């Protein structure tokens, strides 16, 4: 058995607490995406652009945070650090993908061509987020990719995007208790699919030792990653919560406006 096989198959591990946190973030981000689709669609005139940009930012942060928390859950027998600039670039890719998704589902109609085009661009954007994020890793090891799992992860990214766009388009006008239940169920499906995409993409990554001897990560490194992941999770939930609260307030204002107008007459 080679050193590469030992590194890949025996020593790489996941912190299950952070894996659970990444799943929770993925589901909440998916629910926010479904809700934001409805807000962008309902907005009129100049109000559409702020909702589109705000929704893309919130969704993008949520999807990126899921990815980065899952990355922090991953460990190898070498210390892992992340380049800040490249990490931020991966977040921007997630925001762009989210903006494309919201733009597509907020249009009056979505034909098969629009669905496929939007799903392709969104899927490529999410895939770019993941692999740009992987490029941010700084460690004493060589990173290479298995072509089969790489292509499979891109295929899953596009498939997940198609399902997400279809769900968001068809649920964008749903409201009330039934609409909320539908969005929750759909968010669970979308969140699970996004998580599946991430861990399939991680299967494509092969880490082999290089010529530099590296020691095992210290307990303080692992603890630091945990605290960073929980801090990112908390900030992400705050961002998504603010987006959902803003959507709720806007929905109430829009629903009460006709009543007030009728009362004046």
**pLDDT category, 7, cuts 50, 70, 90?**
very low
Predicted local distance difference test score (pLDDT) of residue 101: 84
Q: Which of 87-91, 134-138, 210-214, 217-221 has the lowest mean pLDDT?
A: 217-221
**Joined tokens for residue 199:** 């861990």
Asked if 243 and 32 touch (Cβ cutoff 8 Å), the reply is yes
d(CA 249, CA 118): 29
Dihedral angle computed from the Cα positions of residues 244, 250, 255 and 261, in that order, rounded to the nearest 10 degrees: 170
Residue located via tokens 């290089």 = 210
d(CA 20, CA 113): 36
Predicted local distance difference test score (pLDDT) of residue 173: 66
SS3 content of the chain, % helix, strand, coil (to 5): 80, 5, 15
Full residue range of the structural domain in which residue 125 is found: 3-264
C-alpha 98: how far from chain center: 9
The 10 Å CB-count burial string (b at 16+, else e) for 144-176 is ebeeebbebbbebbbebbbebbbbbbebbeeee
Q: Would you say residue 4 has pLDDT above 60?
A: no
d(CA 26, CA 190): 8
* Mean pLDDT computed over 108-113: 81
**Joined tokens for residue 53:** 């940009």
- Overall number of domains in the chain: 1
Of 168-177, 184-193, 205-214, where does the model show the most confidence? Answer: 184-193
Which one has a higher pLDDT value, 226 or 89?
89
Predicted local distance difference test score (pLDDT) of residue 240: 92
**Considering the chain, what percentage of its residues have pLDDT values greater than 90?**
18
**Joined tokens for residue 38:** 């409805």
Asked if 82 and 136 touch (Cβ cutoff 8 Å), the reply is yes
Predicted local distance difference test score (pLDDT) of residue 69: 93
Q: Would you say residue 215 has pLDDT above 50?
A: no
Half-sphere exposure of 139 (CA within 13 A, CB side): 24
Predicted local distance difference test score (pLDDT) of residue 11: 59
* Mean pLDDT computed over 166-182: 75
Parallel, antiparallel or unpaired: strands 141-145 and 137-138: unpaired
Using DSSP's 3-state secondary structure scheme, residue 208 falls into strand
């Amino acid at each position: 058995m080679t050193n590469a096989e030992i590194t890949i198959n025996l020593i790489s591990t996941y912190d299950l607490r952070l894996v659970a946190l990444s799943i929770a973030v993925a589901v909440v981000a998916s629910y926010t995406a479904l809700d934001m689709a409805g807000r962008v669609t309902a907005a009129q005139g100049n109000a559409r652009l702020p909702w589109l940009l705000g929704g893309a930012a919130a969704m993008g942060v949520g999807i990126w945070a899921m990815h980065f928390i899952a990355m922090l859950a991953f460990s190898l027998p070498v210390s892992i650090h992340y380049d800040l600039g490249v990490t931020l670039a991966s977040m921007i890719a997630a925001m762009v993908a989210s903006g494309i998704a919201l733009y597509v589902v907020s249009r009056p109609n979505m034909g098969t061509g629009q669905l496929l085009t939007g799903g392709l661009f969104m899927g490529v954007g999410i895939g770019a987020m993941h692999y740009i994020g992987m490029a941010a890793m700084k460690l004493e090891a060589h990173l290479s990719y298995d072509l089969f799992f790489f292509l499979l992860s891109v295929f899953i990214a596009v498939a997940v995007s198609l399902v997400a766009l279809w769900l968001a388009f068809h649920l964008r006008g749903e409201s009330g208790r039934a609409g909320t239940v539908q969005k929750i169920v759909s968010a669970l499906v979308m969140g699970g699919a996004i998580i599946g995409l991430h861990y399939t993409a991680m299967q494509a990554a092969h880490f082999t030792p290089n010529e530099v001897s590296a020691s095992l990560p210290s307990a303080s490194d692992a603890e630091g990653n945990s605290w960073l992941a929980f801090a990112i999770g908390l900030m992400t939930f705050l961002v998504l919560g603010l987006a959902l609260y803003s959507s709720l307030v806007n929905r109430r204002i829009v629903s009460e406006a006709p009543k007030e107008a009728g009362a004046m007459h």
